[in-house]
């Protein structure tokens, strides 16, 4: 096993500050580099005073208004999905969709990949972040895995799948009704490819798997370690790509076909616990993506990997949290120091 090094660059900035009688102000910033990709995130002590501007508190009354205003025309509510959502061809899904309990999987009407499914998560139209029970998430992820298996059986060239979600409009979600999306293709998305390529390079350079080294290093140092749920390992990201990033790794599974029902259950339970903490912090939206190695292939360099981040809170006329820094420069601002975030979430992982 190689020990992972977490690199920090300290920089200082000077300017004459009008709120301090034009005296010379000196601020320290810390730039963190992701050990695998080199992704940069920036921690600034001065930003603490600006959090309420960058991430204004959620307006729960406004959420209720949006939920009420959208439910009558929701294409998922009250079984409307039966008439309003597309069906997959019979050669892929003889029944057209997968419906199990409160979960329904159907094709995206505007597909972005050869295999692109939407999964309705429950019959309730509006949900807060403390209203995602493990059993509901388990069923949603379980149906997603069933879809992935069927796609791969039909098309063994469809090797690269991700399970993803936008929750509420500031995250990019166009439907308020909770849902997730499964994407599958013969080639990986840009970030998926980067993770796979850097993982291969790490194995070649170090003779060990980055993901196993990451888990061992984070567990030993403990600052960002959240805990274990069955075989999954949970932590906060050293250099997050989004706000309040929570990660999980499955050390025994390189790709989704190696997942057992216990692995699905672990993902559901971990997501529930992280969302409860986001709710405590009054964040109200999220994105996640779960990455798999190529289906059915031995990939000693990779392990299934999950990223969960917050997005801008819901308020009237909300401002996006992605500006040039994230969208074009591909850096991110750290709002809660990852070690502090871990301390806020950890209790829920040690039950």
Binding residues (CB under 5 A) for Zn ion: these are 74, 76-77, 125, 177
Q: How far is the CB of 148 from Zn ion (least distance, A)?
A: 25
Concatenate the DSSP letters of all residues of 196-246 into one string.
HHHHHHHHHHHSS-HHHHHHHHHHHH-SSEEEEETTEEEEE-SS-SSEEEE
Q: How far is the CB of 276 from Zn ion (least distance, A)?
A: 23
Dist CA 278 CA 285 (whole Å): 9
Nearer to Zn ion, 76 or 299 (CB): 76
Nearer to Zn ion, 39 or 125 (CB): 125
Closest to 304 in 3D by CA, of 275, 267, 261: 267
> Cβ-closest residue to Zn ion?
74
Nearer to Zn ion, 136 or 203 (CB): 136
Nearer to Zn ion, 32 or 125 (CB): 125
Per the CB < 8 A criterion, the answer to whether 35 and 49 are in contact is no
Closest to 6 in 3D by CA, of 44, 34, 43, 37: 34
β-partners of residue 42 are 31, 333
Nearer to Zn ion, 131 or 258 (CB): 131
Nearer to Zn ion, 77 or 159 (CB): 77
DSSP 8-state assignment for residue 293: P
Dist CA 66 CA 79 (whole Å): 20
Per the CB < 8 A criterion, the answer to whether 129 and 283 are in contact is yes
Q: How far is the CB of 163 from Zn ion (least distance, A)?
A: 21
β-partners of residue 179 are 120
β-partners of residue 100 are 103
């Amino acid at each position: 096993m190689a020990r992972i090094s977490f690199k920090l660059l300290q920089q200082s900035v000077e300017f004459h500050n009008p709120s301090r009688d034009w005296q010379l102000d000196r601020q320290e910033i810390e730039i963190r580099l992701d050990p695998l990709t080199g992704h940069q995130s920036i921690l600034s002590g001065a930003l603490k005073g600006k959090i309420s501007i960058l991430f204004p508190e959620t307006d729960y009354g406004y959420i209720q208004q949006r939920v009420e205003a959208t439910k009558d025309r929701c294409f998922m509510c009250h079984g409307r999905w039966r008439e309003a959502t597309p069906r997959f061809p019979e050669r892929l899904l003889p029944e057209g969709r997968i419906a199990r309990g409160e979960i329904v999987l159907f094709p995206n009407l505007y597909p972005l990949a050869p295999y692109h499914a939407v999964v309705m998560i429950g019959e309730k139209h509006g949900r807060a972040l403390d209203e995602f029970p493990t059993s509901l998430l388990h069923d949603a992820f379980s149906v997603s895995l069933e879809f992935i298996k069927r796609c791969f059986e039909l098309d063994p060239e469809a090797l690269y799948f991700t399970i993803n979600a936008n929750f509420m409009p500031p995250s990019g979600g166009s439907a308020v009704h909770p849902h997730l999306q499964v994407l599958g293709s013969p080639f990986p998305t840009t970030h998926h490819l980067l993770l796979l390529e850097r993982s291969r390079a790490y194995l070649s350079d170090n003779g060990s798997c980055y993901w196993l080294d990451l888990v061992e290093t984070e567990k030993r140092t403990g600052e960002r370690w959240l805990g274990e749920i069955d075989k999954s390992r949970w932590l906060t990201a050293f250099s997050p790509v989004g706000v309040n990033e929570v990660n999980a790794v499955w050390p025994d599974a390189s790709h989704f076909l190696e997942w057992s029902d216990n692995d699905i259950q672990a993902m559901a339970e971990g997501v529930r616990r992280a969302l409860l903490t986001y709710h405590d912090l009054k964040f109200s939206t999220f994105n996640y993506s779960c990455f798999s190695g190529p289906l059915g292939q031995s990939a000693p360099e990779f392990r299934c990997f999950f990223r969960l981040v917050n997005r801008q809170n819901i308020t009237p006329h909300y401002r996006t949290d992605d500006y040039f820094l994230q969208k074009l420069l591909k850096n991110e601002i750290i709002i809660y120091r990852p070690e502090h975030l871990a301390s806020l979430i950890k209790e829920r992982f040690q039950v």
